[in-house]
Amino acid sequence: MDARTVAGQLAIDVNGLGQVRRQARDDPRAALKTAAQQFEAVFLQMVLKSMRDATPKEGIMDSEQTRLYQSLLDQQLAQTLSAKGATGLAALVEKQLARGLPGNPAEALQPQGTLPSAAPLPRAAAAERGMAATDAAVAAPLLPAAGAEKANAVPAPAREFVSRLWPHAREASQATGVPAHFMIAQAALESGWGRAEPKLADGSSSHNLFGIKAGRSWRGAVVDVATTEYVNGVPQRSVERFRAYASPAEAFRDYADLLVSNPRYAAVLNQQDPAAFARGLQQAGYATDPMYADKLTRIIGGTTLRAGLAG
């Protein structure tokens, strides 16, 4: 099943999965290419759906029937574009996963369940604080160099991030009862493992690791950041004002004070279960991104954080 076959195949063809399975037995590398194209098609379909949802719906042509056929058209369009390599995402996924094929001398060193850092997914937003939390943070911060040993597969920036923040996380843990590595994981999600901390006008870091907004009661330094907020499930870009700190230690202390002083986060305090901690934050309104809790849970249990802690 080559690219032309995928492009000409109906998106609703129920036999497509069976064909990929058969192809995987006969020609794994070709099947991988097909699967990567289908992954890109799903991604493009989600993009098209978000665009449709954001478009005003009115007029005599708007009905359940027209929306159904429009959805089918978008599915077919996404599949055709993916077969033509419209975004390059399929090629990146194929290249990354091909390392694990039998007989391939290069092993896949990236942690399981992640995408190449060269293809970051759209940024998601936080509600109360509003700072963008990146999907790239779920993945390893940087791919290790080719030929790196498995024991050293986790990039140095991730190990340095954990090592630098660990003492401050331990201090905040004593104040909140939340395990230190839970907070490290959330800081990684919010700041892209330290690479997306808001910058001040002079280029220095604001040390805002948790995306806390500067509300009316804030009397400290601030930094304006272009971010994404989800309103009724639709992402919207805006410029928001965030708190700026003198150091990571100050950021962790302010984060701990937020959890302790705000009754909405009572269920989060002393929480030892990763999934319950992540859900508690989202249910309390910490983030508008509907996938925020899932992303945070994945980082807490991910190989990047575990290896960083071990290092």
Lowest average pLDDT, out of 54-58, 104-108, 158-162, goes to: 104-108
Strand, coil or helix: what is 199? Answer: strand
Q: Radius of gyration (Cα) for the chain, nearest Å?
A: 22
Give all domains of the chain, ordered by start, each with its CATH number.
Answer: 3-107 (no CATH), 150-310 (1.10.530.10)
Q: Is the pTM of this model over 0.95?
A: no
Q: Is the pLDDT of residue 115 over 70?
A: no
Decide: residue 241, CB within 10 A, 0-12 exposed, 13-18 middle, 19+ buried. Answer: middle
Q: What is the average pLDDT across 182-188?
A: 95
Structure tokens at 169: 């996380």
Contact 83, 4 (CB under 8 A): yes
Lowest average pLDDT, out of 43-57, 97-111, 139-153, goes to: 139-153
| DSSP-derived secondary structure for 225-268 | EEEEEEETTEEEEEEEEEE--SSHHHHHHHHHHHHHH-GGGTTT
Write the CA distances from 8 to 80, 187, 212, 219, integer angstroms: 7, 45, 48, 60
Tell me, what's the pLDDT at 162?
92
Tell me, what's the pLDDT at 220?
92
Q: Is the pLDDT of residue 302 over 90?
A: no
Residues identified as active-site: 229, 254
Structure tokens at 229: 């907020």
Hey, what long-range contacts does 140-145 have (CB within 8 A, 24 or more apart)? 140/110, 140/111, 140/114, 140/304, 141/117, 141/192, 141/193, 141/194, 141/195, 141/304, 142/117, 143/109, 143/110, 143/116, 143/117, 143/118, 144/109, 144/110
Task: State CA 6 to chain mean position distance.
Answer: 28
Q: Is the pLDDT of residue 131 over 70?
A: no
Rounded to whole angstroms, the Cα distance separating 254 from 244 reads 11
DSSP symbol at 122: P
Rounded to whole angstroms, the Cα distance separating 241 from 227 reads 10
Tell me, what's the pLDDT at 55?
66
Tell me, what's the pLDDT at 24?
61
Q: What is the mean pLDDT of the chain?
A: 75
**Residue 118: band (very low, low, confident or very high) from pLDDT cuts 50, 70, 90:** very low
Lowest average pLDDT, out of 61-70, 89-98, 167-176, 253-262, goes to: 61-70
